Amino acid sequence: MELGNGFMKTGNLPGNYFQNVSEKVFVGNTVPYNMGGTAARGAGCRAVTGQTYVRTGLRTQMPPECEEIDDHGVPEKISCIDNRIKEHLQFSVTSVTQCGRRAMVNKFWCQEAARKWFYRKDQPPHPRVLSEPKCQKHVATWYLLYRWLIFLAWACILVCSIFEIGSEKPMSVYGTWPIYLTNWDLVLGVGQALLGCFLVLRRWKLQKISDFDPSALMLGSIDKIYWYLYVVTTSTAFAVTITYWCSIFDPRIHHLDPLNIMLHICNSILMIIDFCVTSIPFRLRNIWWCLIIVFVYTVFSLIYYLVGGLDKNGYHYIYKVLDWKKPVHASLVCLGEAILMSMLHSTFCFLEKIKSWLYFKVDKKLGKPYAETQTSNMEKHADIV
């Protein structure tokens, strides 16, 4: 039976069910209905008549003005309800559109960040920043002397550590000296300080040549190794200091003697002083440099345990907190150390930006050109990542 507006009445269906090719209309008391049809394609139903109607699981009261229309005026009732539903449909479509736009923007931003992180070629620093102080465009005599003093300080701590000079109770167990992470940090510190002295001394000699142009310097293997060692040593020194005093130091076993202070406090002091003076860049994408140290030491400590290695006191572990008899606990300790190193590296990346800003402000007040102009344009615009 045709009722108009393109609707057909079908027999033997409860609730005076009407249907069209693309739309469904239910007339009755309470009927479920999914939004859609021509008003919102793909969501289900155009109109529902009766006492109440349900839309996407939400029960809604029949509009009063629509209830006044008797069941014989089905087309009029459909038109009345349709006008009320369009308001909800318009709001729903607007909300979905806004959410869709936000999702698209977020997706685009994530893709762009991933592209910059993984596919962008990292611009190496200009070699002159590895041999100049932050406050000057050249190598002065004071800076050359400073670099040698830093190297001598690291070398003295290394010698005191090997021969236990300054220890309250020296044990003279030299065979176990290389197994401790503290001593690994000392080796890294001496290595980066020695390479720093070499680069500064070379630069100091080159700048005496009349036609020397520092912007023509090339980044060689020694420069790259020094950059890597410096960045890694900075994070490792602070990780050693924090880990030792928070997790390892036991007043019943360890002594607060001069050697202990040199090994676990002076190392960080040397690096923070050097960090404030030098202009060596820190980049967030180089965070994996520090994780290499954690991974290598983790593998070393596990192998050392498996082959039956002992510490200087005769225990079957290097550190009590790193006892591989408890593999889960030891693994969590290594994971925590990796997180700590990552946090420290990220912190120094942030502090390096603050340091550059402070130097800029000081030079601006003094009326001097900012020392960062010593770098090439590509280096100045290099992204932190």
Q: Are 357 and 371 in contact (CB under 8 A)?
A: no
Pick from 143, 137, 173: nearest CA to 277:
143
Spatial CB neighbours of 379, under 8 Å, sequence gap ≥ 6: 123, 125, 126, 129
pLDDT of 58 reads 42
88 token code pair:
């909800």
Q: Are 227 and 170 in contact (CB under 8 A)?
A: no
Helical packing angle, 221-243 and 267-277, nearest 10°: 130
Q: Specify the 3-state DSSP secondary structure of 315.
A: coil
2 token code pair:
């045709």
Dihedrals phi, psi of 92, to nearest 5 degrees = -65, -45
pLDDT of 172 reads 86
pLDDT of 260 reads 97
Q: Which residues share a beta bridge with 44?
A: 35
List per-residue pLDDT tens for the chain, 385 residues long. Answer: 444 444 444 444 444 444 443 344 444 444 444 444 444 334 444 444 444 444 444 444 555 555 555 555 556 656 666 666 655 555 555 555 566 666 665 666 666 656 655 556 678 899 999 999 999 989 999 999 999 999 999 999 999 999 999 999 998 899 999 999 999 999 999 999 999 999 999 999 999 998 899 989 999 999 999 999 999 999 999 999 999 999 999 999 899 999 999 999 999 999 999 999 999 999 999 999 999 999 999 999 999 999 999 999 999 999 999 999 999 999 999 999 999 999 999 999 999 999 999 999 998 888 876 554 444 443 443 333 3
Angstrom distance (rounded) from CA 204 to CA 180: 36
Distance set, CA 212 to CA 104, 204, 223, 277 (Å): 53, 11, 19, 24
136 token code pair:
């000057």
User: Which residue do the tokens 């910059």 mark?
Assistant: 116
Dihedrals phi, psi of 84, to nearest 5 degrees = -70, -35
pLDDT of 364 reads 87
- Containing 340, the helix (H) or strand (E) segment is helix 327-366
pLDDT of 74 reads 57
pLDDT of 104 reads 64
